[in-house]
Amino acid sequence: MVCVFCNTKDKSIIAENDLAIAFFDKYPVNEGHVLIIPKRHVSDFFLATTEELQDINNLLCTVKEILDKKFKPTGYNIGVNVGKDAGQTIFHLHFHLIPRYPGDVNDPRGGIRNLKENLIPYPQGENQ
C-alpha cells in the first residue's frame, strides 16, 4: 500500500524540524486545520519514538503560534486516531491541530467527549 503522506509532493509545509513536518489538512474541519506527522513512516502513535513525539509536540506549539496570528482562533482540539476502529484512515501517524471559533458548533462543552454517547452521562454544570 502506498502511503499518501510519504509519497506526496504536494504538501505545503508550514513548519518543520528534524523529525516532523506540519501542513494544512486537505479536508479541514475548520479554517486553519493542520496535520503534523513524523518524517519517518510510522503507522501510529504507539510506534513513534520519544524523539519523534517530542519533535511533533514542539511543532504543535510552533504551529499554534502561526495559527493564532493568521486565524485568531479562541480554542483548539488536538487529536490522534489510532487504529481503524478509532477512525484512522491513513496509517501514518498524524496529529490534527484544529482551531476552534465561537459558534462553530452549538455546544462545544465536552470537546472530544462528544464523539459518541458517554457510557456514564457527563455531569451538567461541573468542570471535569
Please identify every residue annotated as catalytic.
94
Cα–Cα nearest to 36, from 46, 113, 54, 50: 54
**What is the bridge-based pairing of β-strands 75-79 and 95-100?**
antiparallel
Which grid cell sits at 89?
A: 484512515
Q: Is 124 exposed, middle or buried (0-12, 13-18, 19+ CB in 10 A)?
A: exposed
In angstroms, the CA 54 to CA 19 distance is 9
In angstroms, the CA 107 to CA 104 distance is 9
CB-based contact 8:24 (threshold 8 Å): no
